[in-house]
Chain A
Amino acid sequence: SQKIEQNSEALNIQEGKTATLTCNYTNYSPAYLQWYRQDPGRGPVFLLLIRENEKEKRKERLKVTFDTTLKQSLFHITASQPADSATYLCALLLMDSNYQLIWGAGTKLIIKP
């Protein structure tokens, strides 16, 4: 069956360290992958998009990698801060999906001061 997996357990990281979140998928051929941040009680906010022919994308302290062979995307936050604490969601747009995004369940990130 087709599915997207993100770590269901919260990830606890010490402030200043690099946080790495994982998004794995099976049986999909994504055109691109997006990462969003969601704070409690609010809608997700777009962070980064990476296309299937791109290996890496950066934005300030954020970095996303996309390995279509491993069927995995990694999301890195360097020099993490307590304000980075949130739930991070990945979403795939499939090549034949009629523009529908497929969402992971999200990983809760906690940055400890």
Chain B
Amino acid sequence: KAGVTQTPRYLIKTRGQQVTLSCSPISGHRSVSWYQQTPGQGLQFLFEYFSETQRNKGNFPGRFSGRQFSNSRSEMNVSTLELGDSALYLCASSLGTGTDTQYFGPGTRLTVL
């Protein structure tokens, strides 16, 4: 079974631009969660999508948004990029039933100049 894939793996943007990151979950998984991780920080939860609906949301500004498609693939968008948005963005897929584990992708390393 193929793992979680994220594209692109690396991205360099400048302040003010916007970016879209993509995540393809494991086949059969209906939940996709997005996290931001910066050096020395733990996983900061952005949001979770389950069956195309946002089920949970973290404490991030509205510049961070996401969506999920009918095939469970998910995209995350960050508008008006700031230097502080430089981070490793991870997505994780799961069955979404509550007792299952999360399978993480390799992440997208975003650098904002």
Asked if A93 contacts B104 (CB within 8 A), the reply is: no
**Does A44 lie at the interface of the complex (its beta carbon under 8 Å from any beta carbon of B)?**
yes
Given contacts A42-B106, A43-B105, A98-B55, contact A32 B99 (CB under 8 A): yes
Quick check: is A45 within 8 A (CB to CB) of the other chain?
yes
Q: Is the CB of B48 within 8 A of A46?
A: no
Given A104-B42, A105-B41, A99 and B56 touching (CB < 8 A)? yes
Instruction: Knowing A42-B107, A44-B43, A89-B42 are in contact, say whether A101-B88 is a contact too (CB < 8 A).
Output: no
Given A103-B45, A104-B42, A105-B42, A98 and B107 touching (CB < 8 A)?
no
Chain B residues with Cβ under 8 A from A89's Cβ? Answer: 42-43
Which chain B residues border A41 with CB–CB below 8 Å? 88, 107, 109
Q: How many residues of B contact A (CB 8 A)?
A: 27
**Is B102 an interface residue when CB atoms closer than 8 A count as contact?**
yes
Pick the residue among B55, B90, B102 that contacts A101 (CB under 8 A): B102
User: Taking the nearest CB of chain B, how far is it from the CB of A23, in angstroms?
Assistant: 12
CB distance from B74 to the nearest CB of A (A): 15
Among B28-67, those with CB < 8 Å from A are: 31, 33, 35, 41-43, 45, 48, 50, 55-56
Contact A49 B101 (CB under 8 A): yes
**Nearest Cβ distance between residue A95 and chain B, in whole angstroms?**
10
Interface residue ranges, B against A (CB under 8 Å): 4, 31, 33, 35, 41-43, 45, 48, 50, 55-56, 88, 90, 92, 96-99, 101-107, 109
